[in-house]
């Protein structure tokens, strides 16, 4: 679509901004697609489609932090969104993408920020409690401990969506 602004990821891949029709929830759009989503396109949810590569964690993290600031989520609440989004994205890249696109959604009301990450593997994430010297395996334990709510929604024909919510009045 000519005439649309083009932003680039750190690897040089284009992020294509789209209009109000956005990317329907639960479908696979082109990698780098950004826009509002929802059945009527007016619920204020924003979406980003990412490639299943490690640098996508940073791209998605920066994007969601900016979306949160634009929604008025600042300070400690924004830092919590950043940390927990990174954990979900890292899980999706390492364990859930199976070479397919990863979807990141951000929705915010005056009371709650909800971030969702979808990938193509239906297996739910596992909350581990590794030993002190283990180099990894703490991501979902961090999400469980620091979010107000989290869960997994099965996505038939696509995989799963892992989400968390933080209550903004606590920050």
pLDDT for 80: 97
**Which CATH number covers residue 100?**
3.30.565.10
B/e letters for 46-82, b = 16+ CB within 10 Å, e = fewer, are bbbbbbbeeebbebbbebbbebbeebebeeebbebbe
Residue 36 falls inside a structural domain: no
Structure tokens at 36: 């509002």
Q: How many domains, in total, are found in the chain?
A: 1
Residue 80 falls inside a structural domain: yes
Residue 68 falls inside a structural domain: yes
Residue 15 falls inside a structural domain: no
Residue 38 falls inside a structural domain: no
Residue 27 falls inside a structural domain: no
pLDDT for 90: 95
pLDDT for 166: 97
pLDDT for 20: 32
pTM: 0.77
User: Could you tell me the residue range of the domain that residue 151 belongs to?
Assistant: 43-170
Q: What is the mean pLDDT of each run of 10 residues along the chain (171 residues)?
A: 51 48 39 48 81 92 95 96 97 88 94 96 88 84 95 89 96 88
pLDDT for 23: 38
Residue 160 falls inside a structural domain: yes
Residue 31 falls inside a structural domain: no
């Amino acid at each position: 679509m000519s005439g649309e602004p083009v932003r680039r990821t750190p690897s040089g891949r284009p992020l294509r901004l789209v209009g109000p029709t956005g990317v329907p929830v639960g479908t696979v759009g082109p990698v780098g697609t950004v826009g509002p989503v929802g059945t009527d396109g007016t619920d204020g949810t924003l979406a980003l489609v990412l490639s299943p590569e490690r640098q996508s964690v940073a791209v998605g993290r920066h994007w969601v932090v900016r979306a949160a600031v634009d929604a008025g989520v600042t300070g400690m609440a924004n830092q919590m969104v950043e940390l927990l989004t990174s954990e979900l994205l890292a899980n999706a890249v390492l364990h859930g993408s199976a070479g397919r696109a990863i979807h990141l959604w951000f929705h915010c009301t005056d009371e709650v920020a909800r971030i969702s990450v979808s990938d193509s593997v239906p297996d739910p994430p596992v909350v581990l409690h590794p030993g002190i010297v283990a180099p990894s395996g703490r991501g979902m334990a961090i999400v469980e401990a620091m979010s107000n709510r989290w869960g997994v929604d099965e996505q038939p024909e696509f995989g799963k969506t892992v989400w968390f919510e933080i209550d903004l009045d606590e920050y």
